Structure 1
Amino acid sequence: MTVELPLILVVALVGYFGIKLRRPPTWLIVVLLLGGFLLADTFLAPAIESGTKTGVDVIDKTGK
């Protein structure tokens, strides 16, 4: 049996349980969300995307 979940649902669940279990301060959550949103539309976006892809390749060991 295969279960398909949209990525946003998985991210929402991880975020929900992360907040419930780790209890970070509300201001930190707001700063990280707002900062990420604002950085996505700057000249830094390609560098962030490249760094993210490189990190995933290192973890998955597919970047040979």
Structure 2
Amino acid sequence: MSAKLARKIKRFRKERELTQLKLAARAGLAQSFLSNIENGLQSPSLKSLEKISKALDVPLNDLLK
């Protein structure tokens, strides 16, 4: 996964004043997994990215640009 994608997820999360725990709960993902994504330690699947984009109310395309 690119560092750019990790930064975008983190930026969108912070813009919405969400903690990792709240975003993870909204997306149905583990907080540790979300943390690993934001820190570039794990690459999310397309399904996970779809869940994150929906939880952030951001089009998936905006995350992938």
The answer to whether the superposition gives a TM-score over 0.5 is no
Give TM-score, length-normalised by structure 1: 0.26
Give TM-score, length-normalised by structure 2: 0.26
Q: Name which one, 1 or 2, has greater alpha-carbon Rg.
A: 1
